[in-house]
Amino acid sequence: MTQRTLIKNLAASNDGPVTVSGWVDTVRDQKKVQFVVLRDESGAVQLVHPRAEETDPIADTISALGHGSFLTVSGILKHDERVKLGGIEVLIESIEVVSEALESPIAEDTGIDKRMDWRFLDLRVPRNNLIFRIQTTLEHAWRTYWVEHDFVEIHTPKLMASASESKAELFEVKYFDTKAYLAQSPQFFKQMAQPAGFGRVFEIGPAFRADPSFTSRHATEFMSVDSELSWIDSHEDVMGLHEELMVAGLTAVKEKHGAEIEEAFGVVVTVPTTPFPRIPLAEAKRIVAERGYEVPRHDDDMDPEGERQIAAYVKEQFGHEFVFLTDYASSIRPFYHMRHEADATLTRSYDLIFNGVEISTGAQREHRIDVLEAQARDKGLDPEELAFYLDFFRYGVPPHGGFGMGLSRVLMLLLGLPNLREATYLFRGPTRLLP
């Protein structure tokens, strides 16, 4: 393993010998002294080399450096408050060009499609790199919450014999002498964990939707954050879990990255108060209409502009970035969502809206086999085609519920990014399979 000091640790180090490695960010090749800004995965530092009057191989090497070339440099670390870049610099004693770089095909003003073509270079930009350090902190905080609350992590298969959500938006693949489908969600399998006696489960894993949308918030492959738990009384218990999880995640992000986020993205991370506002969908539509917007849909759902409008209302009235829209119509919800006893046209379900965009759907699941079969038929589904799933409910299953949430959407909205592609390590959409 190469012995080097991370640049972020130089400020706390004593003056003296040091070795650093990283990419050339800028070179100032002056007559008497040369400056190189070197950047590694943790930060940037200024390297200094006073030119010698006679033969100077270090100066020759620096003069030939190209942006993005990878170096290993040994020298003397010096603290000097006059240095604008962190108050430290390294006086070069030796320099090794480990890997030369061609001229970069992208620049600061390059469009996003070309930047996605050269994603490995795009991710060198500190702002873009930071997104995935924030993602790491967020996922770690969620996992810590789950583990501390006795949840079991599961890893569900992504090759399925039948659809997990609907037969639309389904990727079909050849599977030996038959066919299989890429999982749209881990829905069936996380529910299977309830009669298996796991009690509480979670998974962060890929999901696939054959959705030809080119919007700023859709992808054909995405990371789904899922949780399911037994012994609930209603979807209210699922919302309680969900909001606690979001508070845990955002608290960790604010503590570790709050200052960096404000500097890089101009966003002040807000840790939300609980409980989050809850508004039944019918009431939310009435509020939106009173604000001058009529949802132009023929079904009972909310549309993106309606979500933005209700989010604006919640921000004005409650000072909150989150809102649960509850009690969605059974006509637009899956057959496995439990319906209200008093009104079977409504489900015990919700969508969680964050900064004007839906990030998650959750619900209490229907666990009574006779009701579940009836609701499947009501949706035009053949219970025999769902036999493996319905068997989960024939051998004793507790009341349960859960949610699925898009990881990249959360990051996009948290950081105020213009689209999902910025918040996804390698984006997949209708026209993108590379890199």
**Annotation: binding site:** 165, 209, 358, 361, 365, 406-409
What 3-state DSSP class applies to 419? coil
Binding site for L-aspartate, residues? 165, 209, 361, 365
Tell me the C-alpha to C-alpha distance, in Å, between residue 317 and each of 91, 209, 323, 354: 57, 36, 11, 15
Distance CA 77, CA 136 (A): 31
- Neighbouring C-beta atoms of residue 268, cutoff 10 Å: 9
Peptide bond into 435 cis (omega under 30): yes
Instruction: Give Cα 236 distance to the centre of its chain.
Output: 25
Beta bridge partners of 201: 152, 228
Between β-strands 278-280 and 322-326, what pairing exists: parallel, antiparallel or unpaired? parallel
Q: Assign residue 36 a region: left if phi > 0, alpha if psi is -120 to 50, beta otherwise?
A: beta
Binding site for ATP, residues? 358, 406-409
Between β-strands 178-182 and 172-175, what pairing exists: parallel, antiparallel or unpaired? antiparallel
Distance CA 110, CA 275 (A): 42
- Neighbouring C-beta atoms of residue 33, cutoff 10 Å: 12
Residue located via tokens 């489900």: 347
Q: Please give the biggest Cα pair distance in the chain.
A: 92
Distance CA 163, CA 188 (A): 10
C-alpha closest to that of 267 among 360, 358, 354: 354
